[in-house]
A and B are shown apart, each in its own frame.
Chain A
Amino acid sequence: MTDAPDTSPDTVVSARNVVRHYTLPRESLFKPPGKVYALNGVDFDIARGRSLGVVGESGCGKSTLARCVMALETLDGGSVAINGVDLAGLSFEELRTRRRHFQMVFQDPFGSLDPRHTVGRIVSEPLDALEKLKPAARAERVAEVLGSVGLKTTDAAKYPHEFSGGQRQRIAIARALITRPTLIVADEPVSALDVSVQAQVLNLLQDLQDQFGVTYLLISHDLAVVEYVCDEVAVMYLGHIVEFGPTAEVFANPVHPYTRALLDAVPQLEPGARKRERLAGNVQSPTDLPPGCPFVARCPRVEAGCHEARPALEPVGPGHTAACFLKQGL
């Protein structure tokens, strides 16, 4: 990969070496404050109309990545370009007008909608922030977008509490769609929903992509959801992408030991316990950054070299990369 952001028209998101470290509160006068190493150099591109899934366990930096792509965080290094424009160099006002191109859907459909506003106002708010529209034109846009997520035009006058969780998530998706964005970042969009409702929302996400050609960056801890929605998948561990590639290929032939363990840990719909390789230990805290492989403490096949240098993402198949020294032997 080159260091320059990809500015070709078919690339919607181009992230280069994204670094984000949070400083912890100072514990001692005489020691430097600790840091949370949330993202440590993450690279990826998403092509127009495609979807990238980011999977990993809690604390792996996947939500921080979503916030960085949405320019809700200041980067500590690297760059994120959306539609070829590097977001880091923009003024507040320029950034605000560019936000029409990238919108976000949050995890909690109960907390992310203002209970005191009508659905019409919630959905049209991003539009109001961007352009002055006549009330009639605005109502038309709202009706159009509510229709495309499967809600009724009359729902615009209702309040969020009148809707179920799945319908609220549809409202959140409508709010993201109304600016006609090229990219939608969805952070765990279905994890708060029941199974039967989750299926409806996942189908909706696919339909919208077919209809409008939106690009998705989907953050999820549920591998099956990612497999269902995403063309490509990035597996993250402690702020690093450890494996990246086409979803079908990565899930069928996982190379990195962490990807394998993650896939193996998903409970299957077949009765009877399976024998599997369990990962020992917990997800480590991202507060220190040892020089070796980030997975070294839990890896079942660790070797001496793993402690000393960090493996880089290297090709292991068509479009498929993995960061592990031992990939040849696997």
Chain B
Amino acid sequence: MSLLEVENLTVTLATSSGPARAVRNLSFTLDRGQSLGIVGESGCGKSMTSLALMRLLPENGVVEGRIEMDGESLMALSEEQMCGVRGNRIAMIFQEPMTSLNPLHTIGRQVTEPMILHQGLSLIEARAEAVRLLERVGIAGAARRLDAYPHQMSGGQRQRVMIAMALSCKPDVLIADEPTTALDVTIQGQILDLIADLVEETGMALILISHDLGVIAETVDRVMVMYGGAGVETGPTGAVFEHLAHPYTQGLFAAVPKLGGGRVTGGRTRLATIPGMVPELINLPAGCTFADRCPIVGDGCAGTAPPVEAIADDPDHRVACLRLDEALSGKVFAEAGS
């Protein structure tokens, strides 16, 4: 039994212009010590997936499918029981370190709160533990900083505080939703290193959500590529980046300007682009969500949802594409520079 099992997760948001299927038929499992990266563009459902796991969806969201943690269904829990899971067994780091800390409370109060609430620590014990946590995440002079307010810290430090908060109850699953998007590149490196070290140290499972292929490639063991609410390709990071099986994965990879692969002196390189734009979740095709932008789209693609199939030589690397052989045989998008 895996730590976290998600099967056929579907999230539908009721909007004024009709139901929007933010996530559809998503399945994955996660074991202790594993790290899963979810990568995709805006509107692909990656944040909705994490909110569904935390049961923090907006009121107009409806969840179907199965989410189990250690064999226990999270969806069957009452709101009160769920409060005992959130921040305790599943913790989350949000994207915006600037806005996800409460500006009116000290750092100390915010870091100690989950420990007092979930673990019944006294204030003194919790403060001692908070100092240890803040030191672990690399905040200098942690004991003094407990009484600081969020505005007195830089973005990178605030993200470290967020991480300390998330770790305070020794969660089994850590969900990091774009943890470094708002940070400078040198600070991003520090934070990613810290998260990777902590996963190794504590043996918790990590779900890292990012739009940045580079961040995903360097940090996680397994990766899932999402498009239009569906997981189109999933597998060990090495295999996915080597094969780039799904046409969308290929397009995404080709569209990223790569450092060192850029401009050729004297001539210009063009980036490969995926024609069209990210789909509206309201009018998704019934079949493959990528059908209207896919260069190798065939007759059946728009009508039938493609089954998730393993690639011949690697049962762990699974792709949802009806025309997989064609996608694998040649590069669908011309690579930049070639």
Q: Chain A interface (Cβ within 8 Å of chain B)?
A: 57-58, 164, 166-167, 194-200, 202-203, 206, 210, 221-225, 227-230, 247-248, 251, 261-263, 265-274, 276, 278-279, 282-283
CA distance A221 to B183 in the complex (A): 10
The answer, among B186, B251, B252, B253, for a CB contact under 8 Å with A265, is B186
Instruction: Known contacts A57-B184, A196-B255, A262-B186; decide if A203 and B273 are in contact (CB<8 Å).
Output: yes
Give which listed residue, A200, A221, A265, A282, contacts B154 with CB less than 8 A: A282
Name the residue on B nearest A58 (C-beta): B184
Instruction: Let me know if B196 and A251 touch, CB within 8 A.
Output: no
* Extra pairs beyond A198-B255, A251-B259, A269-B217 (16, CB < 8 Å): A57-B187, A195-B252, A196-B41, A196-B252, A199-B256, A199-B274, A223-B259, A230-B263, A267-B215, A268-B217, A268-B259, A269-B253, A269-B256, A271-B237, A273-B196, A282-B187
Beta-carbon contact of A267 and B214 below 8 Å: yes
Residue of A nearest to B268 (CB): A206
Contact A268 B262 (CB under 8 A): no
B258 contacts chain A at the CB level, 8 A cutoff: yes
Given known A-B contacts A202-B271, A203-B271, A206-B268, A261 and B41 have beta carbons under 8 A apart:
no
Question: In the complex, are the beta carbons of B273 and A196 less than 8 A apart?
Answer: yes
Taking CB atoms, residues of chain A closer than 8 Å to B219 are 273
A227 contacts B257, CB within 8 Å?
yes
Chain A residues contacting B154 (CB-CB under 8 Å) are: 282-283
Chain A residues with CB under 8 A of B55: none
Bound form: Cα–Cα A77–B196 in Å: 46
Query: In the complex, are the beta carbons of B188 and A265 less than 8 A apart?
Result: yes
- With CB as the reference atom, state the residue of chain B lying closest to A258: B186
Instruction: State whether A196 touches B238 (Cβ < 8 A).
Output: no
Q: Map CB proximity to A onto B187-203 as digits: 1 under 8 Å, 0 otherwise.
A: 11110110010000000
Instruction: For A271, list chain B residues within 8 Å (CB).
Output: 217-218, 237-238, 241
Asked if residues A195 and B255 are in contact (CB atoms below 8 Å), the reply is yes
Please indicate the chain B residues that have their CB under 8 angstroms from the CB of A279 in the complex: 186, 189-190
Q: Are A57 and B258 in contact (CB under 8 A)?
A: no
Pairwise interchain contact B186-A261, C-beta atoms closer than 8 A: yes
Chain B positions within 8 Å of A230 at CB level: 263
Instruction: State A199–B156 Cα separation when bound (angstroms).
Output: 28
Does B269 sit within 8 A of A, measured CB to CB?
A: yes
Q: Is A267 a contact partner of B218 (Cβ separation < 8 A)?
A: yes
Q: With a CB–CB cut-off of 8 A, which chain B residues contact A200?
A: 273
Interface residues of B (CB under 8 A from A): 41-42, 154-157, 184-190, 192-193, 196, 211-215, 217-219, 237-238, 241, 251-253, 255-260, 262-263, 265, 268-274, 277-278
What separation, in Å, do the CA atoms of A227 and B188 have in the docked complex?
20
The 8 lowest CB-CB distance pairs between A and B, nearest first, are A267-B214, A227-B262, A57-B184, A224-B257, A199-B255, A199-B271, A194-B41, A196-B274
A202-B257, A223-B259, A224-B257 as given contacts; A268 in contact with B273, CB under 8 Å:
no
Q: Which residue of B lies closest to A263 (CB)?
A: B259
Cβ 8 A contact of A199, one of B155, B192, B272:
B272
Asked whether A196 lies within 8 Å of B241 as measured between CB atoms, the reply is: no
By beta carbon, the residue of chain A nearest B274 is A196
Find chain B residues with CB under 8 A from A166 CB: 277
Q: Across the interface, which residues of A come within 8 angstroms of B42, CB to CB?
A: 194
> B278 to A195, Cβ gap below 8 A?
no
Are the CB atoms of B212 and A267 closer together than 8 Å? yes
Contacts of A223 in B (CB 8 A): 185, 259
A sample of 5 inter-chain contacts (CB < 8 A) reads A196-B273, A227-B259, A228-B263, A267-B189, A269-B256
Most chain B beta carbons < 10 A, residue from A210, A248, A266: A266
Give the one of A197, A206, A229, A274 with max B CB within 10 A: A197
State A229–B157 Cα separation when bound (angstroms).
Answer: 33
List of A residues within 8 angstroms of B255 by Cβ = 195-196, 198-199
Instruction: Specify the chain A residue showing the minimal Cβ separation from B213.
Output: A269
Q: Min CB distance, A71 to chain B, in Å? A: 28
Residues of B within 8 A of A283 (CB): 154, 184, 186-187
Query: Which chain B residues border A167 with CB–CB below 8 Å?
Result: 277
Contact B273 A265 (CB under 8 A): no
Chain A residues within an 8 Å CB radius of B269? 228
Q: Once the chains bind, are B259 and A57 in contact (CB under 8 Å)?
A: no
Bound Cα distance from A309 to B274, whole angstroms: 50
On chain B, the residues within 8 Å of A265 by CB distance are 185-186, 188-189
Of the residues A224, A263, A273, contact of B258 by C-beta under 8 Å: A224
The residues of B that contact A225 with a CB separation of less than 8 Å are 257
In the bound complex, do residue B241 and residue A270 qualify as a contact, i.e. CB atoms below 8 Å apart?
A: yes
Residue of A nearest to B220 (CB): A271
Across the interface, do A272 and B218 meet the contact criterion of CB distance under 8 Å? Answer: yes
Does A199 contact B273, Cβ atoms closer than 8 Å? yes
Question: Which chain A residue has the least Cβ–Cβ distance from B293?
Answer: A196
Residues of the A chain whose Cβ atoms lie less than 8 Å from the Cβ of B156: 282
B contact residues around A198 at 8 Å (CB): 255
A164 touches B217 (CB 8 A): no
Contacts of A270 in B (CB 8 A): 217-218, 241
A195 CA to B241 CA in the complex, in Å?
17
- Cα A47 to Cα B265 with chains together (Å): 17
User: With A and B bound together, what is the CA distance between A177 and B200 in angstroms?
Assistant: 52
For the complex, give the distance between the alpha carbons of A85 and B214 in Å.
Answer: 43
A197 and B277 form a contact (CB under 8 A): yes
Q: How far is the CA of A196 from the CA of B193 in the complex (A)?
A: 27
Complex Cα gap A273–B78 (Å): 40
Say whether B193 contacts A269, CB under 8 Å: no
Q: How far is the CA of A223 from the CA of B214 in the complex (A)?
A: 13
Minimum CB–CB distance from A254 to chain B (whole Å) comes to 12
Given contacts A203-B273, A269-B217, contact A195 B196 (CB under 8 A): no
How far is the CB of A324 from the nearest CB of chain B, in Å?
17
A57 shortest CB reach to chain B, Å: 4
